[in-house]
Structure 1
């Protein structure tokens, strides 16, 4: 027992979110290395990702793992929820999508003994916001390079055309859906054999209807009444990883004019699948994405993410440059295939979950000693 490493993992594990997905992969890797993990859910997870019976059973069993007095606590969730529940050594892992973090986040981050962020972008933004520099370590996330890989059977998508731009994102302002839809409809005519697929999620059928109405409204403001080339794929049910992998394999290019990211898992999954990627030239994904392995949308300025807190800025990606890049990727398939190949090499060689978890585990063993 003296040499065993015990971790109290606080956060989410089963939800269709980036935090939960990262937590599942990291914890699963640690268990394979003999770490004893107790899972403490931060709340009841109502909406859950479908998992295999064996994996779900294993992860559910972690709630009952007994913890000795000497253990480490790994709080993996947005920092607004960070608390200390005992006298163990607390590591908080979190991220934020703006140029700075809220004041309440800074206070809660400083409550931790150590803070992990996945990107250099966040290391800088957290320090600028008052988090003590000596507490911060950059611990990159990874991607499942065997699940997200080229050559898998594609998903059948109704109304899909010969060439498909794909975006997988939550349906909110930060992801730049307004910029994406208007850029696509302004650049490509309805007669071209090209479509844009937007995969998102919703809580109700009414919410899906509102999402479609929002897309139609953007189209009208762009002077387009015909939205048949924009395909909304939204569902109340969560998708399996296998379904997502099939979706990526049904596309020709991944595009996300995001206003800010704390990591950007979907871009990394698209790169692992071998897709050329178009995304904004700002925030966390610059740790692994650049002009050699992706297409970077120029930033035309910065605006407050919320008018009530003008200190927190995010980017305004250039719609005109996005239009140019989408057209360029469509008309230069040989070049984009080569760049996509470099992108897949980047993530498979440097950003597997195995490597990510091993890096974290090395630090945990240092602390434990």
Structure 2
């Protein structure tokens, strides 16, 4: 069964990350013939990165054949931006896409080169594949036909993302100089408006006052976004000069691109993951942290509700809020309650049993529901519905 993938590779962007892990899993399916067409990056400053995967996996990705212009297939899957809802040469066309802000914004529509997202979806036959119900609601709110919007979550590779044995974890923490600290972790592009960096810094400043032996690791993506500058700007707005002086020695910033194995080590040495986000399409780091056995503190009401539960997740109370932009867009977000964020950070420090419980339950939950193998089973159900690989097409995912 031939499948054509049009997308990004060799880039630390969420779309490229999902694409590459899905490709590697599809290559394990002997009944599939996979073709890949690389699509242009949306920024001239983005450059291909090597070493994200082990050499054998990277070679496998590079060896995927490119389809000829006339190539027909059972399905074409597009996973890049701007979104492209036009017809393909395949029997079925699908587009992976996210709506972080609860709508398809006018800037995205303009980038697509269409007048209306609703019209573009209605006039084509493309199925939108999106990783969360929050994101699905955003497409429907923007006029997408609900029968052609499918939720397929993202996943993790448990061979990479898993808890370390205690002895190995201690050695690694000692090498990093953090063995005597309680370590919080946050990973992302550090966009303050959507990922809540300022809120996290403000909460951490209070935590440091109460618990001096704490550190915060912030992992940005300087290769594709000015993450460090974003943190500095957020700190100047959220913190006083006195607070900045107190927290700066307790914040570890990592901006360079790491291999996925190196990235996993950040989860493995941390004590808790914290994500007071406002707008996300999925929030893969929360799932990766769960796979590594961390308790996760994340905003309630957003996409992470799809794949977290009370065994390992502490959810920050939030309010659904709409904001109006100069372009005339109405943006939707979940605003985390600041005092509750601080309370939950304090809770994970004081209650060590929460850490032990998360270390046992989180990885087991991920293995049961969210490996890339399971995700690709669901994906193939959408791409080739005549052949049942997993659950039926468009059946709601009930966790």
Q: Taking structure 1 as the reference length, what is the TM-score of the superposition?
A: 0.88
Deviation at 1:134, TM superposition (A): 1.3
The offset of 1:71, in angstroms, is 3.9
Superposition map of 1:190-209 within 5 A = 192-203=212-223, 207=226
Q: Quick one: structure 1 residues 20 and 107, their matched pair in 2 at CA, closer, same or farther if it must change by over 3 Å?
A: farther
Counterparts of 1:144 and 1:94 in 2: how far apart (Å)? 21
| 2:38 alignment partner, one of 33, 36, 41 | 41
Q: CA deviation at 1:292?
A: 3.7
SS at match of 1:189: helix
| Displacement of 1:232 | 3.7
- Distance in 2 separating the partners of 1:209 and 1:100: 28
**1:18 and 2:14 are equivalent in the alignment:** yes
Q: Is the 8 A contact 1:99 1:312 kept in 2?
A: yes
Residue matched to 1:62 = 64
Q: Does the CA contact (< 8 Å) of 2:311 and 2:357 recur in 1?
A: no
Selected match of 1:245 from 252, 264, 276: 264
Counterpart in 2 of 1:285? 304
- Tell which deviates more after alignment, 160-169 or 300-309: 300-309
Q: 1:30 Cα deviation (Å)? A: 1.4
CA distance in 2, matches of 1:6, 1:342: 38
Shift of 1:80: 3.4
SS at match of 1:227: helix
Answering whether residue 80 of structure 2 is matched by residue 77 of structure 1, we say yes
- d(CA) in 1 for partners of 2:3, 2:339: 49
CA deviation vs aligned residue, 1:307-350 (integer Å, no higher than 9, x gap): 53441211211111100000011001113421443222221111
Q: Deviations over 1:41-72 (max 9, x none)?
A: 11156142523222222212224355743442
User: What is the distance in 1 between the residues matched to 2:269 and 2:178?
Assistant: 13
1:308 matched to 2:327? yes
Worse-matched range after superposition: 60-69 or 123-132: 60-69
2:380 is the alignment partner of 1:325: no
Give the match's secondary structure for 1:366: coil
Name the residue aligned to 1:234. 254
Are 1:186 and 2:236 matched, yes or no?
no
- Asked whether the 8 Å contact 1:13–1:21 carries over to 2, the reply is yes
Q: 1:209 to 1:122 in 2, by over 3 A?
A: closer
Change (3 A) 1:212 1:68: closer
Q: Show the counterpart of 1:347.
A: 366
Say whether the 8 Å CA contact 1:185–1:222 is kept in structure 2.
Answer: no
* Match status 1:137 vs 2:133: no
What corresponds to 2:318 in structure 1?
299
Inter-partner Cα distance in structure 1 for 2:230 and 2:137? 35
The 3 A distance-change label for structure 1 pair 291 and 308 is farther
Counterpart mapping for 1:210-221 below 5 A: 210-211=229-230, 213-214=232-233, 216-218=235-237, 220-221=239-240
Q: 2:3 aligns with which of 7, 22, 42?
A: 7
Q: 1:350 to 1:61 in 2, by over 3 A?
A: same
Distance 1:292 1:220 in 2: 33
Equivalent residue for 1:113, pick from 120, 126, 130: 126
Distance 1:124 1:299 in 2: 18
Q: Deviations over 1:273-316 (max 9, x none)?
A: 00000010022111111334300011145142845344121121
- The CA RMSD measured in Å over matched residues stands at 2.8
What stretches of structure 2 of length at least 5 have no aligned partner? 110-116, 389-399
CA distance in 1, matches of 2:127, 2:80: 14
How many residues align? The count is: 363
Aligned partner of 2:92 in structure 1 is 89
1:81-128 Cα offsets, whole Å, 9 max, x none, are 444454652111111112222363444444343221122222222222
